[in-house]
Amino acid sequence: MMTTIRTRFAPSPTGYIHVGNVRAALFPWLLARQQGGTFILRIEDTDRARFVPGAEGLILDTLEWLGLDWDEGPRRGGEYGPYHQSERLEIYRAWAQTLIDKGLAYADPYTPEQVQAFRDEARAAKKAFLYRDYRPENPPAWDGTQPLRFKVANPKRYTWHDPVMGELSAGPEALDDFILIKADGYPTYNFAHIVDDAEMHITHVIRGLEYISSIPRYLSLYEAFGLTPPVLACLPHIMAPDGKKKLGKRDGAKSVSDYRTDGILPEAMLNFLASMGWNDGTEQEIFSRDELIEKFSLSRVQKSGARFDEKRLLWMSGQWIRRLSLDDLYTRVSNPAGNRSSKQSAAASTYWPPAAAQASEDYKKRVLALAQDRLKTLADLPQLTNYFFEEPTRDDSLIETNKQLKKLSPGERQALMRTAHDSLAALTDWTPESIQQRLNDLLEKTSQKPGILFSLVRIAITWAPFSPQLNDTLALLGKETTLKRLASF
């Protein structure tokens, strides 16, 4: 009989949720969904010194925004709760007592100063410090006021198979007496997650590579409890853009909620994170959620680190924006509650530029249809469309930074715009097709290249670094506005 797969994501509410956290949720979620299993969300909130109020809500909101739904956990419930470690203290004490009764756990009587003296002694002897070398012969009975340590009764070599990293092993030097429960009564991660995973019947533990050196300790604890370990898989690090170190805040990594506020689509973020360290063996780059579920496998996760490339994320976001229907895109930019964090201020309650507030829905949809192909994020919308709703502010730097336009004298530029104005003023059929034909006629009349004439017309009309197709832009702005802006150049 096949075992039903049960995976989990167990974040700590100690700050913002970053891309590494979300990928550690995505891969076990994909595995559970693919195999018809169960995905559990557990909050590991026992590090009270680092606890950040509101962080849990941000974690849950981010997972829901990405569509990473969980079957058991906060906001869901389940038969193996509670799903907050801070509510499971009696459970940990009961499991700890089992080890005490077996002679495999003891109260730690040493002060920090004594432990430091042991470290200094080991350093002087030029050997690695192992706590078990200084284990007290007659420790006091544990009353909860002292740390409780696991006793490594049989230091030995452990060998295990990691579906990502392959066959691994570590010798007895990797094993030591580690703390199970701290003096404040809260368990350590090393202890609590093993108890929780056992009680919640977790079959696959998927987490970051930073945990791989601790796995021998976990295996020794599984053995002490007489438990069969779940499948233990470690994901490669997400590397900084230069590929030389693990991604950190100093490398420009932001909270996933910041990317959300910046207008990155959840489909793009999910696609991007899945592709960091995994591929399906083909050249395909754009994957829907359903395609990711269908094609994902731990065997296709690479061993080497995956470089964080924000430009690629922006490219993916643009690709996903182009896949949206116009109505869907309009809803997302007009009602950002589905794409923005709850912390977004009321002053920025839409991605439309402020001047669009008085425009009709029909006109805004026509503007959006033009801008859709050029959007990389939803937050790009104001810069790309503001001139459709109000008179733009002149910015001569757009001319001075254009290698071709800055070669023309101010008089030559004005003469070209007068010619364009007069030619377009004579146009009676103001449609994109007619405008394009008239613009083409202007190229012959002025003997100018498109890169000069069209660029100058576009700047004079929009005073923006980018704009949609020129003839479509003029058609939507209307003849009166177009001529007025050309005349004021």
Could you give the residue numbers annotated as active site? Answer: 249
Which run of H or of E encompasses 92?
helix 89-101
Spatial CA neighbour of 140 closest among 105, 175, 113, 180:
105
Residue environment code for 400-431, b if the CB has 16+ CB neighbours within 10 A, otherwise e: eebeebeebeeeebeebbebbbebbeebeebe
CA distance readout (Å), 137 to 45, 132, 151 = 34, 11, 12
Structure tokens at 302: 């690479």
Tokens 């001319």 belong to residue: 399
- Alpha carbons 159 and 232: distance in angstroms, whole number: 12
> What string of H, E and C letters represents the secondary structure of 291-307?
HHHHHCCHHHECCCCEE
Spatial CA neighbour of 395 closest among 489, 294, 310, 330:
489
Contact 417, 460 (CB under 8 A): yes
According to DSSP, the residues that pair with 106 across neighbouring strands are 149
Whether residue 364 is annotated as binding a ligand: the answer is no
CA distance readout (Å), 51 to 14, 15, 176 = 5, 8, 27
Contact 175, 155 (CB under 8 A): yes
Contact 272, 312 (CB under 8 A): yes
- Alpha carbons 353 and 388: distance in angstroms, whole number: 10
Within 8 A by CB and 6+ apart from 249, the residues are none
Which residue numbers belong to the known binding site for ATP? 249
